[in-house]
């Protein structure tokens, strides 16, 4: 049987949240053997996300953990606690008998269906390009003779793994075999989340290049512009229905 793809999505309350979740769910619901782990950055599971997930047509697990206020500052890595909670959930609820692939799928990206085909047979850790990352049209692993030998990027090229969160997937067995591997808060610099995590579980020489030797862009860090709401009467936190 195909390995199940576990997509971990941290998400937080803001005006575009439901629009973002709607867009990514439209890709995810077309992917077979897919399990969506949605982790809200909130003190409880919100009504909005609860209702959304019930109707989205994707098998899911709904979790929440609130980022401590002291970490909610500009320049601080985002969604560390949420990704770690999802990893803990997988370690508690899945075993070596459950073939799977783990992917960190932020809610502000655009996903092709092909990227899931590419990651499906990940044996340990697989990698591919990400559009609009690294200060360029794309950032990508450089591949020679089937091995990753470096990184094409416009930003902090000295990173051990110059790759965006959306550019790699990890076999569930690797997650289970390295129970201490987590995203770091302490001492983690912006843009180093991926490197700090990946160096706990793999080596550059062991990475499995996907997407035709990392020559095809199948996922994009699109990001969504904040809507102009200056004329809004008031901002209601958890709102997705109109007032009548």
Question: Should residue 84 be labelled a site residue for ligand UDP when binding is judged by CB under 6 A?
Answer: no
Do the Cβ atoms of 16 and 239 come closer than 8 Å?
Answer: no
- Assess 108 for contact with Mn ion (CB under 5 A): yes
Q: Is 240 in the site for Mn ion (CB under 5 A)?
A: no
The helix (H) or strand (E) run that includes residue 50 is helix 47-55
Spatial CB neighbours of 16, under 8 Å, sequence gap ≥ 6: 224, 226, 227
* 118 is annotated as an active-site residue: no
Secondary structure (3-state) at 131: strand
CB closer to ligand UDP, 65 vs 143? 65
CB nearer Mn ion, residue 106 or residue 194: 106
Considering only residues 38 to 57 of the shown chain, the ones binding ligand UDP according to CB under 6 A are: 41
Among 6, 12, 132, 138, binds ligand UDP (CB under 6 A): 12
Q: Give how far Cα 194 sits from Cα of 2, 22, 107, 244, Å.
A: 26, 26, 17, 46
As given in the structure block, the two tokens for residue 114 are: 């092909």
Interaction of residue 82 with ligand UDP, rule CB under 6 A = yes
The verdict on whether residue 11 carries a ligand-binding annotation is yes
Q: Does 34 bind ligand UDP (CB under 6 A)?
A: no
* Chain residue whose CB lies nearest Mn ion: 108
Cα–Cα distances (Å) from 96 to 66, 86, 101, 197, in that order, read 30, 17, 12, 21
Say which of 47, 194, 206, 208 is annotated catalytic: 194
Q: 71: phi > 0 → left, psi -120 to 50 → alpha, else beta; which?
A: alpha
Interaction pattern, residues 170-199, with ligand UDP; x per rule: CB under 6 A = ------------------------------
Which range in 45-53, 76-84, 94-102, 175-183 contacts ligand UDP by CB under 6 A?
76-84
Which residues does the annotation mark as catalytic? Answer: 194
Q: Applying CB under 5 A, which residues contact Mn ion?
A: 106, 108
């Amino acid at each position: 049987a195909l390995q199940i793809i576990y997509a971990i999505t941290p998400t937080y309350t803001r005006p575009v949240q439901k629009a973002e979740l709607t867009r990514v769910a439209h890709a995810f619901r077309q992917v077979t053997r897919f399990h969506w782990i949605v982790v809200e950055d909130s003190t409880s599971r919100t009504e909005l996300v609860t209702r959304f997930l019930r109707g989205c047509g994707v098998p899911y697990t709904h979790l929440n953990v609130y980022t401590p206020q002291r970490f909610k500052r500009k320049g601080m890595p985002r969604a560390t606690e949420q990704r770690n909670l999802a990893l803990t959930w997988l370690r508690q609820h899945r075993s070596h008998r459950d073939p799977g692939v783990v992917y960190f799928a932020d809610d502000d990206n655009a996903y092709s269906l092909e990227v899931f085909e590419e990651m499906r047979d990940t044996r340990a850790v697989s990698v591919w390009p990400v559009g609009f990352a690294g200060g360029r049209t794309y950032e990508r692993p450089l591949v020679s003779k089937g091995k990753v030998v470096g990184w094409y990027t416009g930003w902090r090229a000295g990173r051990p793994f110059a790759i965006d969160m959306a550019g790699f997937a990890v076999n569930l067995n690797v997650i289970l075999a390295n129970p201490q591997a987590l995203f770091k808060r302490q001492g983690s610099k912006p843009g180093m989340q991926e490197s700090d995590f990946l160096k706990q579980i793999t080596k550059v020489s062991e990475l499995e290049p996907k997407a035709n030797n990392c020559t095809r862009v199948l996922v994009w860090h699109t990001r969504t512009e904040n809507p102009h709401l200056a004329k809004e009467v008031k901002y209601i936190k958890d709102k997705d229905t109109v007032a009548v």
